[in-house]
A = this chain, B = another copy of it.
Amino acid sequence: MMLPMQRFTLQVRSRSREELIDVTRDVQSLLLRVGVARGLCTLFVPHTTAAITVNENADPDVQRDLLEHLRRLVPRDSGYAHAEGNSDAHIKSSLVGVSVTLPVEGGKLALGTWQGVYFCEFDGPRLRRLDVFVIAADPESDGGLR
């Protein structure tokens, strides 16, 4: 017996050194094509100077504030040992994280009203990958509100 899981890879192109790229619509398009009524969607970033996060999708200032504050917490130059000059990007990657698991409902990501999914570029511009895993569940299995 095998689990009904599908694997996809999205390409993400960043245009500056630090950037939040909204990938919500790309993931939604995949899910619509896959046609999973209910399940889970695991996103995985196979890079060490990038990350994935979920945050507000309405006011772009929130994304700007997040990037700017991460720069304050982890400055680009701070006497790091790593010679490539991107230790800040590696540190941010571990703080934000490279993997997130999201709910799927009615064939779409079941995010909160104000949530979007953001690929976090910390050492661009580069062509990046985002791995997407979709796990199908029984749509009759809603436990409801408790």
Contacts and interface: CB of A to CB of B under 8 A. Distances in A.
Given A87-B62, A91-B66, A103-B131, A141 B5 contact: yes
12 contacts: A3-B138, A6-B141, A7-B103, A44-B101, A47-B112, A48-B114, A59-B82, A59-B84, A97-B97, A98-B100, A99-B101, A103-B133
A21 interface: no
A108 interface: no
Contacts of A112: 45-48, 129
Given A44-B101, A110-B131, 19 more contacts: A2-B138, A2-B139, A3-B135, A5-B38, A5-B40, A7-B105, A7-B142, A9-B145, A11-B146, A40-B42, A42-B101, A46-B110, A48-B115, A62-B90, A65-B87, A65-B90, A73-B74, A94-B96, A99-B101
Interface in A39-71: 39-40, 42, 44-48, 53-56, 59, 61-62, 64-66, 68-70
Nearest to A142: B7
